[in-house]
Structure 1
Amino acid sequence: MDSVNTQSTFISKVMDRLCYGPDMVSLRQTVYKNMETECNRILSGERHIVLTGSKAEGLTAVLESDTDIMTVFTEIICSENPASVRNREQLTVFKTDMNYAAPGYTFLRIINVGHSPFGIIRIPDLLVEISPRQIYLSSDFWKNEFKQNTIDDSNLPGNHGFKNVDRKNHGPSISISAFGTLFCDCVYAFVCNCPHYLNAWVSRKRLHKWPSSDLIREVSKLESHVVPVGSRDSCVQFLEWRICFTKGEIRLVQSLNDCLTKVLILLKQIAKVTLKPLSEDMTTYIMKNIVLWLAETNSYDSFTEDNLILVLHLSLRLLKICVLRNNLPSYMIPERNLLFNRLTVKQRTNICMRIDFLLREGPRIVLRWPKIRDAFTMIYRTPDEFDEFSKTRRQKQLFYLFHIEYILCRSPRRAFTPFTTVEQVMRALPFCDFTEGDFERKSEEIKYLISSLRDDINCASAINQLKVYLA
């Protein structure tokens, strides 16, 4: 046991060196939240964006995963009680109709039609009349309308492949790539007032101290949404919409401690390499729900750095049980089974066998992640090379995040308190371990940025502050 605890601590330290420690995770969360805030200031009032997925959670580095963006149309509202919606005459209002819909899904019956978002989407063209006075919004029509508009935009002269649209279906999202390097999944959604599921989540009995009462209260105040995708087994999935608590889930992941955050990162990466080839439905969202259930149903005090491997094994055992039972309840909506009608008997057998094999590997399981495997190889062969590699990786990621903050602070329409000194720009970077001289030697971009600071801010003490923060 002591050996496993020691190895867990060592693996945790290596992940810190690879920029998966709590300082870098927190910094990425802060920077991407500021980016989201600034983008929403630039956008018109009829819509706003929500950064979702691993980027918003701060779990992945630059270009390590797709960027997930949800565009929310604020002038379209769906509610269990449409009469409670304010200014309903000016808005497009739908009533949620969960009768005959799969758990976690709803039909949207039209109550009032306002003006169309973008001026190009006409809501009446996307409605389906099931019976007299029973008119519903089609999720397929909605998604395909935006998808076709995106394809048309990508084919405009002079685009040069800036937007290549994947024509395959990926749940509710539209996949876009830029120059074959930047990948983005876009979802077009709107706000849904759904107290039925939210109140059930808030009031359910919990035996341990996570999530705390304050966190539950905070999550309950965040907006929920509907996204255009139906239940896979439904004969009317083209009419169904999925209810999701994206903002709440992001906040819950951000509240996880260092051990659980690293377990989630490891579980996602190991599943991507070992389980996803067996079934495309072994997604990162499945792994996130496993970790959230693990956090709620176990003593939170046991999730410590020296138990990292034990907690990772526990999460895999929980995943195996769910696959065997063919039932993984959604963390926010337990009535919704995330594995229902997704895995064949052969796939379930192969996944369980693969998990058993992974568990027998013990701490070596982390070597399934190529990044960790390469890091351990460098540590074993040339420790100095790993020191240089980890330092360079940290510098590059810090520069990227610093550059985003610097651009945001210069925006004429910035949505948060303007930065007047480098100290404020670098408020989230007190843990940097390199100097201005290292900056200039390592990166011409940083050298240019420092000279820009001298010219633009015109503050003689700015560089001294920068040196203090980066020393």
Structure 2
Amino acid sequence: MCTCSGLKMTDGGTDRSMSATGMFPIHSSLYSQHVQNHVERVSVKVCHIMTLLGYGEEIRRRRIEKFRECDVLWNADSINRHLITVSSKAEGLMLWNAESINRHLITVGSKAEGLTSWRESDYDHLHVLNKVLCVETGVHLNIIPDDLEVCRMDTRDVYPGHCKILLLPDRLNSTRTNVFNNVVCCDKQGNNMISSGLFLDKMSKFRGEGVGPLKRAGPSLPRSDEKGLKVDQVFAVNCLCPSILQRWAQRPRLWPPAEVVKKVVSLGSVVTAVGFKGSKNNEFEWRICFNMGETELVHNLNITQAKVYVILKMIVKEVLKPNNKEITTFVMKNIILWQAERNSPSLFQEKKLIYWLHDALGKLLTAISSTQLSYYMIPERNLMAACGLQAEQKRKWVEDITNMMEEGPSVILRLPRIRQAVICYPQPMLWFSRRRMEAEILILEWMRRDLQCRCENGRYDIDDIILVEIDRRQDEIAKEVYDRMSVEGSAVNTVNDVYFRLLM
């Protein structure tokens, strides 16, 4: 039986003081208050543990800031003109040779949201074409600058949230990009369509030196470096779809505030080269995405909401363990965004973390059992459609989630990292957490400084005083942790191994 940090499990692994809802008492009102107080104490302690594990507000905001700065540097002209491979301290972050692709890079996903550490998950890079714009029907072309090639969105006969892209005749003084060469097909009406399949095949051939064509995975062209760090690279076209964004903006809601709604609308959208899995027009459809707006929305979740989101992702990855992306991180994000929109922000307090995790698990249970979850930006699009979820898998996951909901606060102990933190002595955990956070802050600053040096002189400056000092302190931290682990009898290999484990 584990009683550390106030997280208690019975021999059967379930706190039977909870009803099937996991939150409401089954005995007297006095016991009800006792249970509620226990759940709130556990919630606060779990929030503290999550901060120690690298999901606190300070490091979250630091990650957001540094990746924004690096995006600016990555897109500097002096960087874009040649291939850059960041050295071993930040391995795997690579810009491809510009060749004939005029585009800019945006970090999206969990790294841009500030919710994963340096090596905890894949990097998601959105490569947006600079000289192309896709517009929905009704947008007047005379308001668009002449130096942009304009395509028209066609949302007829496609799954919601998708479109076909039609090439328009050249406008006077407009410039035609060559990025769509050899990827155009004709539909039955004689319109020139850009094939998403052919486009992605073409993009897979733009690669770094010594790298063969990249294998497609949905809209992404994933790649890994020699250390196993994965980068998902998605090519996209800027999209002007004011009617879709206005429908989203005008929804009745309790969150986000009006100024955030306005900013999300201003960030616009893109279309990426992937069709709906079950569509007969799959190779011609493009998906309408709002990556930048969704990143902004996650930035505006409070820290309790952000921690619920992280725990929910942990549960899917470590407990449900989908094999073929039947449930994705994107599904979790949409559950959290719907939860945020429909409830007052004041309700998301640290002491209510277990309650909101339970509520999110209930939403996930409904999504799986009904194979229905509306996309937050375009509700007509069902994120569970054609997800490949088989009947037996559905039955098992429904049973698993039901059991988790019945466990109440003890469900947290299913997660290895949290369970390990619970049973760890507080002082060593705090000591390790401080060094882990310092190591990550240093690597974020190293990444930014390295790119800044490259902007100034086009090469990695091994003698830069700031980079040298960061390297020195990183080595010092790794040696401190290595020595302590050795003294305490922990399994360790090398100082470098300890350093990389610090950043996971």
TM interval, short-chain normalised: 0.7 to 0.9
Q: Which residue number corresponds to residue 58 of structure 1?
A: 114
> CA offset at residue 277 of structure 1?
2.8
The residue correspondences of 1:180-199 to structure 2 (distance < 5 A) are 180-199=227-246
Matched AA of 2:403: F
Task: Quote how far apart the aligned CAs of 1:411 are.
Answer: 5.2
User: For 1:301, which of 322, 346, 359 is the aligned residue?
Assistant: 346
The question of 1:99 aligning with 2:156 is answered yes
CA distance in 2, matches of 1:27, 1:103: 36
SS at match of 2:129: strand
In the alignment, does 2:311 pair up with 1:275?
no
Distance 2:212 2:436 in 1: 29
**Residue from 219, 228, 253 that aligns with 1:172:** 219
- Other-structure match for 1:397: 440
How far off is 1:18 after superposition? 1.7
Q: Choose from 346, 362, 367 the match for 2:408.
A: 362
Contact 1:165 1:177 in 2 (8 A): no
CA contact (8 A) 1:173 1:187 kept: yes
Q: Find the partner of 1:83 among 113, 118, 141.
A: 141
- Call closer, same or farther: CA 1:440–1:322 in 2, change over 3 Å: closer
1:229 counterpart residue number: 274
Q: Secondary structure at the match of 2:381?
A: coil
Name the structure 2 match of 1:137.
194
CA contact 2:73–2:455 (8 Å) conserved in 1: no
Q: Give, in whole Å, the separation in 1 of the partners of 2:112 and 2:332.
A: 16
Q: What is the SS of the residue equivalent to 1:221? A: helix
Equivalent pairs counted in the alignment come to 408
Distance change >3 Å, CA 411–CA 311, structure 1 → 2: same
Q: Is the 8 A contact 2:166 2:192 kept in 1?
A: yes
Contact 1:98 1:106 in 2 (8 A): yes
- Following TM superposition, by how much is the alpha carbon of 1:439 offset from its aligned partner in structure 2, in angstroms? 7.6
**Deviation string for 1:393-447 (max 9, x for gaps)?**
1221121123234335545459xxxxxxx9xx9xxxxxxxxxxx988853689xx
Structure 1's 439 and 328: CA in aligned 2 closer, same or farther, altered over 3 A? closer
Matched AA of 1:404? M
* TM-score normalised by structure 1 residue count: 0.81
C-alpha contact (below 8 Å) 1:175/1:183 kept by paired residues: yes
Give the Cα separation in 2 of the matches to 1:406 and 1:271: 36
Q: Is residue 72 of structure 1 aligned with residue 128 of structure 2?
A: yes
Q: Is the contact between residue 319 and residue 415 of structure 2 (CA under 8 Å) also seen in structure 1? A: no
> What's the offset of the Cα at 1:92?
2.4
Q: Does 1:215 align with 2:260?
A: yes
Note the residue ranges of structure 2 that are not aligned, 5 or more in a row: 1-35, 82-100, 458-464, 467-471, 481-504
Query: Do the aligned residues in 2 keep the contact of 1:191 with 1:224 (CA within 8 Å)?
Result: yes
**1:296–1:16 CA distance, 2 compared to 1 (3 A):** same
Are 1:376 and 2:422 an aligned pair?
A: yes
User: Structure 1: how far apart are the matches of 2:243 and 2:349?
Assistant: 35
The alpha carbon displacement at 1:41 in A equals 1.8
Superposed CA deviations along residues 99-119 of structure 1, whole A, max 9, x for unmatched, are 1111000010110467676x6
Which residue does 2:364 correspond to in 1? Answer: 319
Counterpart of 1:38 in structure 2 is 73
Q: Is the 8 A contact 2:74 2:451 kept in 1?
A: no
Match of 1:341 among 361, 366, 386: 386
Q: Is the 8 A contact 1:329 1:338 kept in 2?
A: yes
Aligned equivalents of 1:82, 1:175: Cα separation in 2: 37
Contact 1:260–1:291 (CA<8 Å) still a contact in 2?
A: yes
* Contact 2:151-2:166 within 8 A present in 1 as well: yes
Code of the residue aligned with 1:192 in structure 2: it is C
1:101 partner amino acid: V
**3-state SS in 1 of match to 2:187:** strand
Q: 1:68 to 1:302 in 2, by over 3 A?
A: same
Partners of 2:233 and 2:390 in 1: CA distance:
29
CA separation of 1:164/1:23 partners in 2, compared to 1, >3 Å: closer, same or farther?
farther
User: Which of 48, 72, 81 is the aligned partner of 2:104?
Assistant: 48
Instruction: Answer yes or no: is the 8 Å Cα contact 1:8–1:307 preserved in 2.
Output: yes
Letter in 1 for 2:202: E
Matched, 1:25 2:60: yes
> Which residue is 1:433 aligned to?
none
Call closer, same or farther: CA 1:444–1:112 in 2, change over 3 Å: farther
Instruction: Name the stretch that deviates more: 73-82 or 169-178.
Output: 73-82
CA shift at 1:46, angstroms?
Answer: 3.3
Give per-residue Cα distances to partners, 1:179-200, cap 9 Å, x unaligned. 1422100001110101121110
Contact kept in structure 1, 2:442 and 2:474, CA below 8 Å: no
Deviation at 1:297, TM superposition (A): 0.9
Within 2, Cα distance between the matches of 1:8 and 1:279? Answer: 32
Q: Kindly indicate whether structure 1 or structure 2 has the higher relative contact order, using CA contacts under 8 Å at least 6 residues apart.
A: 2
Q: 2:292 aligns with which of 220, 223, 247?
A: 247
1:33 partner amino acid:
R
Listed one character per residue, the Cα deviations across residues 248-281 of structure 1 (whole Å, up to 9, x for unaligned) are 0000000000100000111111111122336622
Change (3 A) 1:301 1:211: same
Quote the Cα distance in structure 2 between the aligned partners of 1:12 and 1:165.
Answer: 44
Instruction: For residue 38 of structure 1, give the secondary structure of its aligned residue in structure 2.
Output: helix
Q: Over aligned residues, Cα RMSD in angstroms? A: 2.7
Contact 1:67–1:183 (8 Å) recurs in 2: yes
Structure 2 contact 64–111 (Cα < 8 Å) conserved: yes
The alignment partner of 1:339 has SS state of coil
Q: What CA distance in whole angstroms lies between the structure 2 residues aligned with 1:295 and 1:373?
A: 27
Please give the secondary structure, in 1, of the residue aligned with 2:384.
coil
- CA distance in 1: counterparts of 2:316 and 2:156, whole angstroms: 36
Q: Which moved more, 1:385-394 or 1:33-42?
A: 385-394
How many Å separate the matches in 2 of 1:149 and 1:56? 24
State how far apart, in whole Å, the 1-side matches of 2:366 and 2:409 are.
21
Residue among 16, 21, 27 paired with 2:51: 16
C-alpha separation in 2, matches of 1:166 and 1:280: 20
Quick one: distance in 2 between partners of 1:100 and 1:270? 37
- 1:338 and 1:65 mapped to 2: Cα distance? 22
- The answer on whether the counterparts of 2:132 and 2:237 sit within 8 Å (CA) in structure 1 is yes
